[in-house]
Structure 1
Amino acid sequence: MKNTAVFLILLTINLIQIKSQDWAIKQLENSPRHQENITVSYGDESISCFLVYPEVSEKAPVIILIHENRGLNDWARSMADQVAAMGYIVIAPDFLTGKAPNGGNTPDFENSDAARSAIYELSPQLITNDLKAVVSYAKKIPASNGEVAVMGFCWGGSQTFRFATNTDEVEAFFVFYGTGPKDPADYKDISAPVYGFYGGNDNRVNSTIDMSKEIMNEYNKTYKPEIYKGAGHGFMRAGQAPDASPENAQARKEALSRLKKLLEEI
Structure 2
Amino acid sequence: MEISTQETQFKGSDGQALDAFLAYPKDQEKHPGVIVIHEIWGLNDQIRGVAKRIAGEGFVTVAPQLFTRYKHVLTERNIESAMRRIWSIPPSKRNDQETIKKAMEGMTENERKVVELLFSQRQKLQETMVKDLLACKDFLNSFERVKKDVLGVTGFCMGGGLAFQLATIWPFKATVVFYGSNPTPLESIANISGELMCLYAGEDEGINAGIPIAVEALLKHKKSFEIKVYKGAQHAFFNETRPSYNEEAAKDAWERLKSFFKRHLV
Which AA in structure 2 matches 1:58? Answer: E
Describe the shift of the 1:220–1:39 C-alpha distance in structure 2 as closer, same or farther (beyond 3 A).
same
Which AA in structure 1 matches 2:220? Answer: E
Q: Distance in 1 between matches of 2:241 and 2:30?
A: 32
Q: How does 1:190-205 map to 2 (within 5 A)?
A: 190-205=192-207
Contact between 2:30 and 2:146, CA under 8 Å: does it hold in 1?
yes
SS in 2 for 1:92: strand
Aligned equivalent of 1:253 = 251
Q: Distance in 2 between matches of 1:144 and 1:165?
A: 22
The question of 1:151 aligning with 2:154 is answered yes
SS in 2 for 1:200: strand
Describe the shift of the 1:203–1:111 C-alpha distance in structure 2 as closer, same or farther (beyond 3 A).
closer
Contact between 1:71 and 1:119, CA under 8 Å: does it hold in 2?
no
Q: Distance in 1 between matches of 2:139 and 2:201?
A: 33
Q: Across the two proteins, how many residue pairs are aligned to each other?
A: 228
Q: How does 1:1-266 map to 2 (within 5 A)?
A: 33-42=3-12, 43-56=14-27, 58-101=29-72, 106=75, 110-112=78-80, 113=82, 114=111, 117=115, 118-120=117-119, 121=121, 122-146=124-148, 147-168=150-171, 170-237=172-239, 240-241=240-241, 248-265=246-263, 266=265
Shift of 1:48: 1.2
Shift of 1:40: 0.8
Shift of 1:35: 1.5
Contact between 1:56 and 1:87, CA under 8 Å: does it hold in 2?
no
SS in 2 for 1:236: coil
TM-score by length of structure 1 reads 0.78
Consecutive unaligned residues of structure 1, counting only runs of 5 or more, are: 1-30
Q: Distance in 1 between matches of 2:223 and 2:31?
A: 26
Describe the shift of the 1:65–1:116 C-alpha distance in structure 2 as closer, same or farther (beyond 3 A).
farther
SS in 2 for 1:229: strand
Describe the shift of the 1:40–1:243 C-alpha distance in structure 2 as closer, same or farther (beyond 3 A).
closer
Contact between 1:152 and 1:158, CA under 8 Å: does it hold in 2?
yes
Shift of 1:241: 4.5
Shift of 1:85: 1.6
**Which digits, 9 at most, give the CA deviation of each residue in 1:8-35, with x for residues without a partner?**
xxxxxxxxxxxxxxxxxxxxxxx96322
**Which digits, 9 at most, give the CA deviation of each residue in 1:35-90, with x for residues without a partner?**
21111115433321111112445211111000001111221112111211222111
Contact between 2:78 and 2:114, CA under 8 Å: does it hold in 1?
no
Describe the shift of the 1:180–1:241 C-alpha distance in structure 2 as closer, same or farther (beyond 3 A).
same
TM-score by length of structure 2 reads 0.78
Q: Distance in 2 between matches of 1:192 and 1:67?
A: 21
Higher relative contact order (CA 8 A, sep 6+): 2
Consecutive unaligned residues of structure 2, counting only runs of 5 or more, are: 83-110
Aligned equivalent of 1:22 = none
Q: Distance in 2 between matches of 1:40 and 1:47?
A: 5
Sequence identity (%)? 28
Q: Distance in 2 between matches of 1:133 and 1:182?
A: 20
Q: What RMSD, in angstroms, separates the aligned Cα atoms of the two structures?
A: 2.4
Contact between 1:128 and 1:166, CA under 8 Å: does it hold in 2?
no
Q: Distance in 1 between matches of 2:75 and 2:6?
A: 16
Which AA in structure 2 matches 1:161? Answer: F
